[in-house]
Amino acid sequence: MIERAELPIESLVVDPMQSREQPWTGDDIDQQLVAAIEADGLYNDLIVRPLDAVEMGVTTETTDTVDDGRAVAIDDEGAGSGSNQSVVAAEDLYAIVAGSRRYYAALEAGYETLPCKILQADDLNAAWTSLLENTDRRELSEQEIAQQLNLIYQLIRPGSTDGSGEATDTPLDGGLDIEESHFETDEEALAYIAERYLGRSDESAIDHIQEHLQTAALPPVLQSLFKNPEERTATERTALENYGIDTRATLGSGEGKSGTSRAVVALHDTLESELETDSLDPVDAVLETVGSLRFEEMSELELRQSLREFRKDISTALDSESATEQREAFSETLQRHTEELQELHEEIEPNRPFKRVDLQGPETQRHSRWHVQAMCSRGADTHTELARELYLERLETLADERGWE
């Protein structure tokens, strides 16, 4: 049963099971939420659970901090994190499962109490509630979805033991100590996640979940490619800018279904396995590749195919034991692919009628050239005008051929 209550703001902390990696930065988008709450109030309740149900990640001694290092904001009377002298009994504390941004915005807006729905949930159910609530609201990036599914996987994955009964198997992220497994095999755990998240547990659904887990295992700066721009740290933004990557953009569909992360994971794995330790850093090499091969008007499909083709070539080009030769091979291969893509975009892009088709396919390239030639020969001013003319001509031809009246 879900209870609804107005809870004092000092009784709330952010749940370590919630989906947002960085729930509040105070940037322009966050300030827009503050302004909206000041003007219109809170339309949706926060979802919370009693703090004593939280098994890991939150201290019960104070509402100031959680053990992941994030400061919990308090109102002006508290004078900031670290100076809050109010004491709240542990049984009166609640962890925010969903609604952390609204919580921080309400703090800045001067709220003293917040409307909350109180769940009775363990860590696993809290993690699911946070993921599903935020994905329903379309508020999570592909990276956040991957991290949350990885957290759920760690909570339920099987662990081997050393005979003492304690888990010794290291999870993907290695951050949680799971005393007891919910499933006997990885396959069962993955099938459970797929069924609950995607509504099916066939092979393709399990592959989809595994791809999310692989994204979550990428080095943090590569994961930042799939974050929403406002969620990136200053260090991540600098790293992307150093390789010419537009920090205003994000890779992926936002729903974890784009497949671009799969191409980035595959490229990173190839470079990590093929490169000598003193030749190139795999992370830097991936960032340089993305920065070089991604053009402003490029669709996700085009980028994905470009990364795959580059990975195919580079795996052959790196077949050398010399670090110097590997660095040269990488630079030459990347430059060649970049020049070919640039030439292709310069030839087709100015007159390209459809922005999201695959430029790499020879059929598309040929049809695009014909389209441009047809526009010039007919003096058509727009793509729509040309399409209408061709459509009517084709109808008239079919009518003549088949005797339509």
The residue among 82, 64, 81 whose CA lies nearest residue 14 is 64
Over residues 32-38, mean pLDDT: 87
CA-to-CA separations, 175 to 150, 151, 186, 321, 391, in angstroms, rounded:
11, 9, 18, 36, 60
* Contact between residue 317 and residue 340 where contact means Cβ atoms under 8 Å apart: no
Residue 337: predicted pLDDT: 93
Write down the residue that tokens 């509040």 correspond to: 24
Share of the chain above pLDDT 90, in %: 19
pLDDT digits (tens, 9 = 90+) for 382-391: 777 788 888 8
pLDDT band at 360 (very low <50, low <70, confident <90, very high): very low
Spatial separation of the C-alpha atoms in residues 217 and 222, rounded to whole Å: 10
pLDDT digits (tens, 9 = 90+) for 178-197: 344 468 888 999 999 999 88
**Paired residues of 7 in beta bridges:** 114
Name the residue with higher pLDDT: 295 or 66. 295
DSSP codes, 39-92: HH--SS-EEEEEGGG--SSB-SS-SSBBTTSPBPP--GGGTSTT-------GGG
Spatial separation of the C-alpha atoms in residues 367 and 383, rounded to whole Å: 13
Angle at 78 between CA 74 and CA 82, to 5 degrees: 80
* Contact between residue 250 and residue 141 where contact means Cβ atoms under 8 Å apart: yes
Residue 374: predicted pLDDT: 77
Would the pLDDT of 351 be above 90? no
Over residues 279-299, mean pLDDT: 89
Residue 258: predicted pLDDT: 61
